[in-house]
Amino acid sequence: MVRYAADLGVPVLLHHGFLIDFNSLWHRSGVVRQLATDGLEVVLIIEHFLREAGDAHAFGHGTVLLLAEALADVIDELQRPLVDIVAAGAGVAPALIAAANDDRIRRLVLADPADVEFGPGQGPLVLDETAGPTLAELDLGVPCIHHRVPPLAPVPGLRLTPESVAAQTLILADGRHRLATMSLANRLPRVAIRYLEDDDVPATVDPRFAGYVSGFLRAPDPSC
């Protein structure tokens, strides 16, 4: 875990899944610099590791659940009453699960939520993974250790629906992700949406992205 501009306010945890060199996205987009300049504490996960059943959270096996559990572990380690999460790419679905199951998550920013799928109707998040190697494994030419971790079903009572997310949520999306954004936003209790103009550029590449994130996280709580 790497922390920037640590203070006693609400820390901001940035999450982009298992992607190789994933934290570079937050530096390229200017989010780390913007948040630190604005006086917010920034937290980056520098590595992910897997353990067998018996963890404090034990969300279950499968990439999305393991990443959600990693977020919960980091929040525990921070030992702060509240935390904000900014997620993109493969980090969006794990961030939703973490927020649905942890009241310490105050605000949630989601960028281009294209990979989030739900069951029929008002179903839960779809967690099934396709068989075979991941794209990261193909790129590296090595197998991922998670294939050797014994399968573990989600713990009873684990909440997997957006309706369970109590955190204030902002979705930043380009035009290509409008349909996925609306599908998700229609089920979140406290959500705002900002569409960016370019259909072909991810939200995190837009030069305004860092400012939108910082402005949302620093805004007064409307419930106060």
Model confidence pLDDT, tens digit, residues 104-129: 999 999 999 987 888 888 899 887 65
pTM recorded for the entire structure: 0.84
pLDDT at 215 exceeding the cut of 90: yes
How buried is residue 68: exposed, middle or buried, by Cβ count under 10 Å (0-12/13-18/19+)?
buried
Among the listed residues 128, 144, 127, the one whose alpha carbon sits nearest the alpha carbon of residue 136: 144
Give residue 130's pLDDT.
54
Contacts 24+ apart (CB under 8 A), 133-138: 134/18, 134/63, 136/18, 136/19, 136/20
Among the residue ranges 150-154, 163-167, 168-172, the one predicted with the least confidence is: 150-154
Has residue 105 been placed in a domain? yes
Has residue 72 been placed in a domain? yes
Q: Are strands 42-44 and 2-4 parallel, antiparallel or unpaired?
A: antiparallel
Has residue 36 been placed in a domain? yes
Give residue 49's pLDDT.
47
Has residue 224 been placed in a domain? no
Instruction: Report the domain count for the chain.
Output: 1
Give residue 143's pLDDT.
58
pLDDT at 68 exceeding the cut of 90: no
Among the residue ranges 70-84, 99-113, 134-148, the one predicted with the least confidence is: 134-148
Among the listed residues 158, 203, 171, the one whose alpha carbon sits nearest the alpha carbon of residue 60: 158
Q: Which residue has the tokens 């009572």?
A: 157
CATH number, domain containing residue 168: 3.40.50.1820
Has residue 61 been placed in a domain? yes
| Distance between CA atoms of residues 196 and 174, nearest Å | 5
Tokens of 142: 């090595």
Has residue 134 been placed in a domain? yes
Has residue 129 been placed in a domain? yes
Quote the domain boundaries for residue 11: 2-218
